[in-house]
Amino acid sequence: MTRVFLSLVAMACLGLAACTTPGNDGTSLGTGVYKIRNPDKLQFRMLDSVNALRQAGGKAPLQLHSALNAAAATHSKDMALQNRPWHFGSDGSSPLDRAIRAGFTGRVLGETISESYENEVQTLTAWMENSAARAVLMDAKAVNMGFSWHQEENGKIWWTLITGT
């Protein structure tokens, strides 16, 4: 059932991308490297996608939380500097440490990360196919979400999503 839903979501996104002119879907013309366009809207697009999956799974929707967004942004940049995807900062910080530093007063439930050259829909699909990442996204206790990324000049993107109460 989940794979069918993910397939439908992916097909819908591809269908919408087919309705745009070349280059408007975020890819660079001629290079094939995904470049994030409209970054001010990307967090909302991811929130909408996560909430659609949560709704299909019978879970309550999440809301973006500015402190969690800040913690996610810090970690995405730090992973790029370290050139490795992992949950610990270069200073030894955990997701909880980073959320507290950013001013989050709730409880951190989980963090999912990725390094890729893929867009946010492909990244979310990969997360949903991974049981640990899926558990973070679909945690029934989650109320808040933080999401951010860092894109290198070569196109590599470091993604971070954090959930909390």
Predicted confidence at residue 112, as pLDDT, reads: 96
DSSP string across 41-79: HHHHHHHHHHHHHHHHTT-PPPEE-HHHHHHHHHHHHHH
Question: Among 80, 87, 53, which residue's Cα sits nearest to residue 161?
Answer: 87
- Is pLDDT at 137 greater than 90 in this prediction? yes
> What are the pLDDT digits (tens) for 45-57?
999 999 999 999 9
Is 0.85 surpassed by the pTM of this model? no
Instruction: Pick the more confident residue, 88 or 58.
Output: 58
> What are the pLDDT digits (tens) for 76-115?
999 998 887 878 887 889 999 999 999 999 999 999 999 9
Predicted confidence at residue 55, as pLDDT, reads: 98
Predicted confidence at residue 152, as pLDDT, reads: 93
Predicted confidence at residue 117, as pLDDT, reads: 82
Question: Among 80, 157, 73, 57, which residue's Cα sits nearest to residue 111?
Answer: 73
- Is pLDDT at 147 greater than 80 in this prediction? yes
Predicted confidence at residue 32, as pLDDT, reads: 65
